[in-house]
Chain A
Amino acid sequence: MPLPVISGVGFITSIGNSRPSVLRSLRELRHGIEPFEFFGNPNLQVKVAGTIKGFSFPTPNWRDWNWPDEFTVDRELLRGLAPHGVYALCALQQALDDAGLAASDLTSSDTGLFCASAGSPFLLANCLNQLRETRGERASPMGVVSSIAGTLNFNLAAHFQITGAVCGFVSACSSSSHALGYAMDEIRLGRQRRMLVVGAEDMTAESIMPFSCMRVLSTNPDPAKASRPFDVGRDGFVGTGGAVALIVEDAGLARSRGARVYADLVGWGQAGDGHSVAISHPQGAGLSEAMRRALADAGVASGEIEYVNAHATSTPGGDRSEALALHSVFTSAGARPRVSSTKALTGHGLSLAGAMEAGFCALAIAEGFTPGAAHLEQPDPVCDGLDLPRASLDEAPRFILNNSSGFGGSNVCHVLRRPN
C-alpha cells in the first residue's frame, strides 16, 4: 500500500505567515492573540482574537483588501475569493514552493485537492443583504462562489487546473482533519499520487461572533491568558482564522523528486459521539474511539505515541472530555505521552484547526521539538496523570497523534511518524 507523506507546508496563521515564523512561535510559545473589537462595539464581552497580521478585509469589496507584498493574488481569481480564500492562496503558494512544485506540476489527473472551510458568513451576509435591499434583483454575480461552503475548492481547483479528485469537507472543527484523512486514503488506495489539503477560515466578526451566542468564547480580555487549554481558569475559546496548506504525496513520488519529507502519515481514524449537536460526550467516548481507530490503522500501540496535539480549545466541557478520553486511551494503558494544545497560541481555527495542527505536528517531527502547553498555570485536576510540558522541548517525537473534534460529536485523529 502506498505511504502518504507530507512534503510541503504553508502557513497563514495568527502565529506567523511563514514556516520559519510559525516554527519560532511554537518553539518559544509566542501567541498570536491580540485585543480585537468585534462589530466596532466596545461593549461586547469578547475582547480578543487570533489576528492574521499583514492582511486586512475592511469591506466585502475586494478592492479594499490588502495582503503582504510577497504574495501574488490575480485579480481574475480575487473576484471569486472570500477573505479565507486569499489566506488559502497564500498558504498554498508557500506549500508548493516548499515542496519544490510548480503550478504546472498539478494539472495531471494524479493530483487532487481536498479543502475545508465553513464558507464566508461575511460575504454571504453581504450578498443576501444586497438581494434583500433590491428585492431579489441585484447581487454580485460572484456572490455564491465566493461565500458558500465549498468556495475554497471551487476557486483553487479552477485556478490550479486540478483534474484529479476535488472535494470540500464540512464537519465543523474536524473538517480539515477529515480532508487530510481522506487525502491519505486517496494515496493509500492508489487513486491519487498527490493531494493538496487546504483548511481555511475567515477571521471576521461574522465567522467568530455567532459562537459568542453559544457562550463558548472566552471573555478574558488578556491576550496572554484568554486561551489556556486544560487550565482550571479556562472560560472558552479565542477565535481565529487563516489558512494552512499541506502537500501530501505518495512517499515514492516525493522521494523520486528529492523532496523533503516532513512526516509519514501512517494512520487515521474517526468516530462519532452519538450524543449532542454541540456538546462533547462527557467522557469523550467518540474521541477515545477515534484515537483507538487511528492507532489501530497505523499499527501503533498507545505507548509508542510520544506527543499528542490535543484538540482542546479552552472550553470547560470540551477540554474535560478530551482529558478523560486521553486517560482512557493512554493513562489506563500505562502510557504517558507529552500532551499540549497549540490553540493556546493560535486560538481556535474552526474548520482550519485540524490541518493547521497537522502542519504543526509535521514541523515538530521535522525540526525535532515538542510544542509545550502555553498559558497553563494551574492544570484542571481532571488532567492529573497527563504530561503537559509548560515549555516546548527539544525532543523529536517519533510518533504523534493529532486530535480534532467537531459539532455533532465528529472526532478525527491522525498518526504521524518521523520518516526513516
Chain B
Amino acid sequence: MEPTASTGETPHRTDKPEDRIRHFPAPVRDAFARFQAGGDAAALEPVVFAILEDFIPKTPAQPLAAVPLTSRLIDDLGFDSIAITEVVFFTEDLFGIRISNEEILKVQTLEDLLGFIREKVAARPGC
C-alpha cells in the first residue's frame, strides 16, 4: 500500500528548476546556475530578490536590492500571507528544501529570509 501521509520531502515536480525561473531576467538565471553549481554563495541573494519581486503584491518603487535589508516583508514591503505562501512554495521547489509554517512565521525581514534560506540550502542532503 502506498503511504498517504506527507513524507516531509519536497513534493515531486516534473518540471526542472531552470524551467521555473525561465521568466526571470538573464542575470538572475545565471546567478542561479552559479549557485547551484556550488561555486558562488553570493549568487543566492539576487535569486531570492527576484523571487520576492515576482510575488510581491504591489510593484515596489525601487528594486529590492536597493532597499535596506532590515525592511520587513509585511509592514514595509506590502507582502501578505498569500504572497508569502507563494514565495515559500516557490523557494521550496526551486532549491529542494522544506520550510514549515512555524519556521516562516519567524522570518520578518529581508535579511532574516536570506539567512534562513542560506541555512536551509546548506543543510540540503549532499550539499
Q: Is A140 at the interface (CB under 8 A from chain B)?
A: yes
Q: Once the chains bind, are B11 and A137 in contact (CB under 8 Å)?
A: yes
Q: Once the chains bind, are A75 and B11 in contact (CB under 8 Å)?
A: no
Q: Once the chains bind, are A134 and B58 in contact (CB under 8 Å)?
A: no
Residues of A contacting B23 with CB < 8 Å?
61, 63-64
Q: Is B82 at the interface (CB under 8 A from chain A)?
A: yes
Chain A interface residue count, Cβ-Cβ cutoff 8 angstroms: 15
Q: Once the chains bind, are A133 and B58 in contact (CB under 8 Å)?
A: no
Residues of B contacting A138 with CB < 8 Å?
11, 13, 89, 93
Residue of chain A at shortest CB distance from B89:
A138
Cα(A142)–Cα(B59), bound, Å: 19
Cα(A76)–Cα(B56), bound, Å: 8
Q: How far is the CB of B9 from chain A (nearest CB, A)?
A: 9
Query: Which residues of B, 79-102, contact A by the 8 Å Cβ criterion?
Result: 82-83, 85-86, 89, 93
Specify which of A64, A134, A142 is in contact with B82 (CB 8 Å cutoff).
Answer: A142
Residue of chain A at shortest CB distance from B6:
A137
Q: Once the chains bind, are B57 and A76 in contact (CB under 8 Å)?
A: yes
Query: Which residues of B, 1-41, contact A by the 8 Å Cβ criterion?
Result: 6, 11-14, 23
Q: How far is the CB of B86 from chain A (nearest CB, A)?
A: 6
Cα(A140)–Cα(B87), bound, Å: 11
Q: Once the chains bind, are A141 and B11 in contact (CB under 8 Å)?
A: no
Cα(A319)–Cα(B31), bound, Å: 61
Cα(A21)–Cα(B127), bound, Å: 60
Residues of A contacting B93 with CB < 8 Å?
138
B40-55 interface code vs A (CB 8 A; 1 in, 0 out): 0000000000000011
Residues of A contacting B59 with CB < 8 Å?
75
Query: Which residues of A, 65-80, contact B by the 8 Å Cβ criterion?
Result: 74-76, 79
Cα(A134)–Cα(B12), bound, Å: 6
Q: How far is the CB of B73 from chain A (nearest CB, A)?
A: 15
Q: Once the chains bind, are B57 and A141 in contact (CB under 8 Å)?
A: no
Q: Given A134-B12, A134-B13, A135-B11: A75 and B57 within 8 A (CB)?
A: yes
Residues of B contacting A135 with CB < 8 Å?
11-12
Q: Which range contains the number of B residues in contact with the other chain?
A: 10 to 19
Cα(A142)–Cα(B84), bound, Å: 12
Cα(A137)–Cα(B5), bound, Å: 10
Residue of chain A at shortest CB distance from B57:
A76
Q: Once the chains bind, are A133 and B82 in contact (CB under 8 Å)?
A: no
Q: How far is the CB of B50 from chain A (nearest CB, A)?
A: 12
Q: How far is the CB of A252 from chain B (nearest CB, A)?
A: 38
Residue of chain B at shortest CB distance from A141:
B85
A105-138 interface code vs B (CB 8 A; 1 in, 0 out): 0000000000000000000000000000111011
Q: How far is the CB of B51 from chain A (nearest CB, A)?
A: 13
Cα(A138)–Cα(B83), bound, Å: 15
Cα(A76)–Cα(B54), bound, Å: 11
Q: Once the chains bind, are B82 and A74 in contact (CB under 8 Å)?
A: no
A57-95 interface code vs B (CB 8 A; 1 in, 0 out): 000010110000000001110010000000000000000
Cα(A142)–Cα(B13), bound, Å: 19
Residues of A contacting B55 with CB < 8 Å?
79
Q: How far is the CB of A248 from chain B (nearest CB, A)?
A: 31
Specify which of A63, A76, A133, A140 is in contact with B86 (CB 8 Å cutoff).
Answer: A140
Specify which of B13, B54, B58, B82 is in contact with A141 (CB 8 Å cutoff).
Answer: B82
A139-158 interface code vs B (CB 8 A; 1 in, 0 out): 01110000000000000000
Cα(A13)–Cα(B126), bound, Å: 54
Q: Given A133-B13, A133-B14, A137-B6: A74 and B58 within 8 A (CB)?
A: yes
Q: Once the chains bind, are B12 and A133 in contact (CB under 8 Å)?
A: yes
Residues of B contacting A134 with CB < 8 Å?
11-13
Q: Once the chains bind, are B11 and A76 in contact (CB under 8 Å)?
A: no
Cα(A170)–Cα(B12), bound, Å: 36
Cα(A61)–Cα(B21), bound, Å: 12
Q: Once the chains bind, are A141 and B89 in contact (CB under 8 Å)?
A: yes
Which one of B11, B23, B59, B83 has the greatest number of beta carbons of chain A within 10 Å?
B11
Cα(A133)–Cα(B59), bound, Å: 31
Residues of B contacting A64 with CB < 8 Å?
23
Residues of A contacting B56 with CB < 8 Å?
75
Beyond A61-B23, A75-B58, A138-B89, list 4 extra A-B contacts (CB 8 Å).
Answer: A75-B56, A137-B6, A137-B11, A138-B93
Closest 9 CB pairs of A and B: A134-B11, A137-B11, A76-B57, A138-B11, A141-B85, A63-B23, A141-B82, A76-B58, A141-B86
Chain B contacts to A: CB under 8 angstroms? 6, 11-14, 23, 54-59, 82-83, 85-86, 89, 93
What are 17 A-B pairs at a CB distance below 8 A?
Answer: A63-B23, A64-B23, A75-B57, A79-B55, A79-B82, A79-B83, A133-B11, A133-B12, A133-B14, A134-B11, A135-B11, A135-B12, A137-B6, A138-B11, A138-B13, A138-B93, A141-B89
